[in-house]
Amino acid sequence: MKILYSTIFLVLLLMACQPKPDTTMDDLFTKNSETVMKSLQSWQDEKPDYSVYADSAVALNTYFGAKEDTVMIMSDAAMNSDKEMLARYDFELLNSPPSFLPGVNPDTKEPDGSVRYYGAWKVTLPATDSTEAKSGILKIYESYDFNKDGKIIYQQGYGDFSGLMMYLNN
């Protein structure tokens, strides 16, 4: 009986000495996912919230035939381009809220607080006096990396946006 009690005591002692799991990356991922959702929602509301971006934030230019690899998100040219797109087209996030996935550091393969998502946007060219409205669905994969202040520093999106624009405008 003494051995049984000793064994139970030892097991309980070992269980009590286990370190608490580190949830730092889970908490960071959750916080960063909320930032991404805020950005997506602001785009859908046609009022982009650039406050979620660091001043030096860049987007990977994945458009076919792009002359530059990256675009400075906070540049006047990029923000004016966004303004023109939102004036011409209506954007609706079809899976809201989307399912966010944690990203990993490419070298260590460990979670790093970055956020990925697969989503679908309905993009509509509104009707005019001489044309009917025309819509298309853009399936997209996007990823976002963050600085220590929780601001987006790098964004990349993959989807056939060029094909969608050709469809809507022909």
* pLDDT tens digits, 121-158: 999 999 999 999 999 999 999 999 999 999 999 999 99
Distance CA 103, CA 124 (A): 31
How many other C-beta atoms lie within 10 A of the C-beta of residue 155?
20
How many other C-beta atoms lie within 10 A of the C-beta of residue 113?
23
Which whole number is the average pLDDT over 96-103? 91
pLDDT, tens digit, for every residue of 4-56? Answer: 666 766 565 556 666 666 678 889 999 999 999 999 999 999 999 999 999 99
Q: What architecture (CATH level 2) is domain 22-168?
A: Roll (3.10)
pLDDT at 24: 80
Question: Which runs of E-coded beta strand occur in 28-148?
Answer: 53-60, 70-72, 90-93, 100-104, 111-125, 134-146
Which whole number is the average pLDDT over 79-93? 96
The pTM score is 0.84
Give the mean pLDDT of the chain.
Answer: 90
Distance CA 70, CA 88 (A): 24
Distance CA 20, CA 135 (A): 51
DSSP 38-56: HHHHHHHTT---GGGEEEE
Domain boundaries, the chain: 22-168
Number of H helices, E strands in the chain: 4, 7
Bigger pLDDT: 14 vs 114: 114
Q: End-to-end alpha-carbon separation of the chain, Å? A: 85
How many other C-beta atoms lie within 10 A of the C-beta of residue 39?
20
